[in-house]
Structure 1
Amino acid sequence: MIIYESNNTRINGKYTLDFSSHTIEGERRLEDVIDVHSKLELSIVGYGTGKYYIGDKIYDMKKNDVFIISNTDKHALVMDKDETLKNIVIHFEPRFIWSDNNNFDYRYLKIFFNRSKNFCHRLDRHNEATEKIISLFYEIEDEFNNKPLEYELMAKVKLMNILVLLLRHYNYVYDDKDHYQFKKEVQSINKVTDYIHENFDKKIKLEDLAAIVHMNTSYFSTFFKKFNGLAPSEYISRIRISKAMELLEKTDKNIIEICGMCGFNSTASFNKMFKKIKHLTPSEYKKQYFNQK
């Protein structure tokens, strides 16, 4: 299996969106690629065919198929031995949409959290809105590739457009009557994720996180996973590794320095967690990143 990452761009700031394009060649075994992460995902098949395993569902995929993947969905993209496939992906955390410093709210994300019995991870190929969404996807790709003035803002506007089309034209969402309760939960989880992002370089205890939203640790862990798809400890580890990746890509700091800056108490634990999440050691990742540039 060979994976070429042709584009990997991140909108910087407190709330981030990642855009990437992967070209995958050769056989990809299911057990090697099952993934779950803290970010919501929209993806489109640029070319190629294969199977997408999402939760307990298996979808065939072909060019221009669009997939919706929540942060609670285990998923794996698999193609045949002689196949080549391009997968274009948008990753974003829930708080990228429902952050308090903009005019958007949680309703944009109902496609991820309020799914009806009719929900399908692969968009209906025959729905008239699917063609519009496909077009917006490639417009976002153009924004990231060409980087015109204010491309980050335009990419977000187009993403919001996609999310509205998903609500308007697909019977994939049930009508949630208890808007107020859901909004309160969102505000609570924002407080916790903000704290984690601001203190990832320090020791973070489960008890401290639960106390922020006045919950016991057992209930809090369930509550946290509902919105982020990961247990608090794993979410923290992935935030730390994400920050470590940025430092490896953009600075000349050594592994020991990065280890301390990202909240790990030893290089051994840093290396172990980095390899668990990225399937490479920090040194291997840095070498691969600069070789691809």
Structure 2
Amino acid sequence: MGTVCNDHAHFYNDPAIFEKVIPMSNASYSTKTIVHTPSEMAKTFLFYVQDLGWFECRPDYRIRRTFFPYSIRYVIRGKGYGVWRGKTYEVGPNQMLFLDLTEEHEFYADPDDPCKIYWVRFGGMQTADYHRLLECDKNPVLIARNARLTRQLFEELFALFEECTPGFEVMASSHITRILTDATITHMEGNESPDGGASLQYPETVHQAIRYIKDRHQEAIKIEDIASYVHLSPSYFSRLFKRATGCTITEYLIKYRLRIAKELLAGTEGSLGEIAQTTGFCSQSYFSKMFRQFEDMTPFEYRQSIRMDLAFQT
């Protein structure tokens, strides 16, 4: 069974159906909720929506609950507070609260500036991965890089589940992916530009580290060497680098060396031992091991595949 839609659409305006309001009062907020039963196809392959909508809080709005699975609340205007694992987080315009609803949480409006929120409750195979990637266990508040686009994506989500056109679940999954991708890029950048939008570059210390790796990839490089170069402690720098790039320093170094190695495999007749030495791997066997681990083939197989491709093109 799917969403009840078109002229049979049913919008639940009674907040008690999904939310326990503290104090229990129909005056605490106004809302529209669109309910949906996801298809088996959506639950297997996609981000699948269970319900979504908007609500506009009044000053006394407050909820406390657990639920399943995940939700994103995007603040359009005003201000609210999320209580998560004993800490309170302020959520303002163009910010999102991304929560694992299996854990108890609380949300309440700022009494002096109550908020209007777009929200979606969803699941899917990659949802927990995004939650971990965005480090929401530490801080569930995210920033959208593009306020206009994020609002548009939510409003298009509402329209998809109201109209139920062919392929609407696939389109909805795509919209959620775009929302999460936007938040992930902002999270990786780790800083904001002066006008309030997210900057389009890595932090300078990460840029310096990447230049260091590229300039010295043929040498034996330790994390401590790079951290010292950018004047940070190894532990702090490691966290900063992973947040910005999505991978550890060691992984980044290996991938960069493999990138150079692939160019040499494709464009030269150098032996595997020569290429391993040129790209900074300590031995041919370690080079081959890392190549297979990251590329799912051996260096020899990669060289052969490239040459076969070139042969077909000539």
Q: Tell which has more relative contact order, 1 or 2 (C-alpha 8 A, sep 6+).
A: 1
State if a TM-score over 0.5 links the two structures.
no
* TM-score (structure 1 length as normaliser): 0.42
State the TM-score, normalized to the length of structure 2. 0.40
